[in-house]
Amino acid sequence: MALALYRKYRPRTFAEVIGQDHVTEPLIQALKSGRINHAYLFSGPRGCGKTTSARILARSLNCVQGPTPEPCGECESCKALASDGAGSIDVIEIDAASHGGVDDARELRERAFFAPAISRYKIYIIDEAHMVSSAGFNALLKLVEEPPDYVKFIFATTEPEKVLGTIRSRTHHYPFRLMPPNALRPYLEHLCRLEEVAVEPLVLPLVVRAGGGSARDSLSVLDQLIAGSGPDGVTYARAVSLLGVTDNALIDEMIDALAAGDGAAAFGAIDRVAEAGHDSRRYANDLLERLRDLIILRQVPDAAEKGLLDVPEEQLARMQTQAAQLGPATLSRCADIVANGLVEMRGATSPRLLLELIAARMLLPAADESGGALLQRLERLETGFVPGAATRPAADARAETSHPQRDPSPAQRTAQDAPNAHAAAPATGREAARAAAASAAAHSQPARATARPAAPEDSGSAQHPGTTPPGDDSSYEVADPWAAADPARTPEPVRPVEQSRAPEPARAAPARTPEPAAPNAPLAGADDATAVRRSWDEIVRMVGRSSKKAAAFAREAVVRDIDGNTLVLLFKHKIHANGVENDPTPLMDAVHQVLGGKWQLRCEVGGDPRAAAPRAGATAPASAPPRSTAPKAAAPSRTPAPAGDDWPTPARVGGVAPAAPAPAQSTGRRAPVADDGPPLEEPPYDPEYDGPPPRTIEGFDPGDEPTDEIVDAATARQTTEQAAVESLRRSFNLEKLD
pLDDT, average across residues 83-112: 89
Query: How does pLDDT run across 602-658, given as a tens digit for each residue?
Result: 899 875 444 333 333 333 333 334 444 344 444 444 444 444 445 555 544 444 444
232: buried, middle or exposed (CB in 10 Å: 19+, 13-18, 0-12)?
A: exposed
Query: How does pLDDT run across 521-547, given as a tens digit for each residue?
Result: 333 445 578 888 888 888 998 898 888
Q: Which of 262-276, 322-336, 501-515 has the lowest mean pLDDT?
A: 501-515
Bridge partners (DSSP) listed for residue 345: none
Residue 146 DSSP code: S
Q: CA-CA distance, 75 to 67, in Å (whole number)?
A: 13
CATH number for region 5-177: 3.40.50.300
Which residue intervals of 72-180 are DSSP H helices? 76-80, 102-112, 134-145, 165-168
pLDDT number for residue 678: 52
259: buried, middle or exposed (CB in 10 Å: 19+, 13-18, 0-12)?
A: middle
pLDDT number for residue 562: 87
pLDDT, average across residues 163-174: 93
Q: Which of 87-101, 300-314, 469-483 has the lowest mean pLDDT?
A: 469-483
Q: Is the separation of the CB atoms in 433 and 449 below 8 Å?
A: no
Which residue intervals of 497-584 are DSSP H helices? 524-534, 536-546, 548-555, 574-582
pLDDT, average across residues 36-61: 94
Residue 90 has pLDDT above 70, yes or no: yes
pLDDT, average across residues 458-466: 40
Residue type, 499: Q
Percent of the chain with pLDDT over 70: 65
Q: Model confidence at 682, in pLDDT bands (50, 70, 90)?
A: low
Bridge partners (DSSP) listed for residue 669: 619
**Total residues belonging to the chain:** 738
- C-alpha to C-alpha distances, 89 to 76, 81, 118, 128, 312, nearest whole angstrom: 11, 10, 8, 21, 48
- ∠ Cα 166 171 173 (to 5°): 115
pLDDT number for residue 348: 84
Q: CA-CA distance, 298 to 293, in Å (whole number)?
A: 9
pLDDT number for residue 315: 84
pLDDT, average across residues 374-403: 57
pLDDT number for residue 702: 52
Bridge partners (DSSP) listed for residue 95: 127
509: buried, middle or exposed (CB in 10 Å: 19+, 13-18, 0-12)?
A: middle
Residue 443 has pLDDT above 50, yes or no: no
Identify which has the larger pLDDT, 439 or 723: 723
Identify the CATH assignment for 183-378 out of 3.30.1700.10, 1.25.40.10, 1.20.272.10, 3.90.1170.50.
Answer: 1.20.272.10
Sorted by sequence, the CB contacts under 8 Å of residue 363 that are 6+ apart come out as 257, 258, 261, 263, 266, 387
Average pLDDT, the chain: 73
Identify which has the larger pLDDT, 185 or 245: 185
Residue 239 has pLDDT above 70, yes or no: yes
Four-CA torsion 106, 108, 109, 112, nearest 10 degrees = 160
Q: Model confidence at 713, in pLDDT bands (50, 70, 90)?
A: low
Residue 468 has pLDDT above 50, yes or no: no
Q: Is the separation of the CB atoms in 273 and 246 below 8 Å?
A: yes
pLDDT number for residue 594: 87
* Highest mean pLDDT: which range of 122-126, 397-401, 516-520: 122-126
Query: How does pLDDT run across 311-367, given as a tens digit for each residue?
Result: 878 888 889 999 888 888 889 999 999 999 999 988 888 899 999 999 999 988 877
First to last CA, the chain: 108
Q: Model confidence at 715, in pLDDT bands (50, 70, 90)?
A: low
Domains of the chain, by residue range, sit at: 5-177, 183-378, 435-451+475-505+516-617+643-677
Architecture of domain 435-451+475-505+516-617+643-677: 2-Layer Sandwich (3.30)
Q: Model confidence at 159, in pLDDT bands (50, 70, 90)?
A: very high
Q: Give the helix/strand (H/E) hosting 127.
A: strand 122-127
**Going edge to edge, which strands form the sheet with 91-95?**
91-95, 122-127, 151-157, 39-43, 172-175
Residue 202 has pLDDT above 60, yes or no: yes
Q: Model confidence at 373, in pLDDT bands (50, 70, 90)?
A: confident
pLDDT number for residue 214: 92
Whether this prediction's pTM lies above 0.85 is answered by no
Q: Is the separation of the CB atoms in 99 and 68 below 8 Å?
A: no
Q: Give the helix/strand (H/E) hosting 601.
A: strand 600-605
- C-alpha to C-alpha distances, 445 to 438, 439, 490, 503, 677, nearest whole angstrom: 7, 4, 25, 24, 19
Cβ neighbours around 385 below 10 Å, total? 16
Task: Tell me the HSE value of 71 on the side-chain side, using a 13 A CA sphere.
Answer: 25
Residue 714 has pLDDT above 80, yes or no: no
pLDDT, average across residues 688-694: 61
Residue type, 363: L
